Amino acid sequence: AEHDPDAQSIAVLIGKCDLNAVLRELVGQTAVAPRREIIEKSICNAGAIIQVPDVKSAIEIANEKAPEHLEIITKNARAVANKIRNAGAIFLGPLTAEAIGDYAAGPNHTLPTSGTARFFSPLSVWSFYKCSHVVECSPQALETLAPSVLTIAEAEGLYAHAEAVRRRLKK
């Protein structure tokens, strides 16, 4: 929340976690923060505390929101992390603050924001890797694939695509 007044911060509480205790802590820490105004605007604009009945529900919310940063502070944090498919960076356990990953632990800090972790990964060497797909079709594979390929090519109105397959079938 202290990054930007438009930043989104969400706490997901599982089970009978004390919502009032979390609110008191949030208010107390915000009151003494040097960037208090930014935090308050962020919380008012896009903050949320969501109470869910179980870990499964929390995982669903995390995967739906696809956060830039996700702290998992629960029993079996590693097992929970294994079920997260959409997050830029994941911080496990009560000792692993986001700042540890941002400044010291080593992962890249260029992360997908605003839910884009659903379809982007953090910046890495793979972001600069170029690859090409190589496709080779045997006679048997051509026979197997041709009906589907012809159907799709014709549905798209791509006559030459379909004809290229038909001519190869005749060889």
CA distance 69 to 105: 14
DSSP state of 82: T
SS3 142: helix
- 59's CB contacts (< 8 A; 6+ apart) are 80, 83, 84
Determine the straight-line distance between the first and last CA of the chain, rounded to whole angstroms.
65
What sign for the dihedral angle of Cα 100, 104, 106, 110? positive
| Catalytic residue numbers, as ranges | 68-69
Are residues 86 and 118 in contact, defined by beta-carbon separation less than 8 angstroms? yes
Closest CA relative to residue 77, chosen from 88, 90, 67: 90
Are residues 38 and 2 in contact, defined by beta-carbon separation less than 8 angstroms? yes
Length of the chain as a residue count = 171
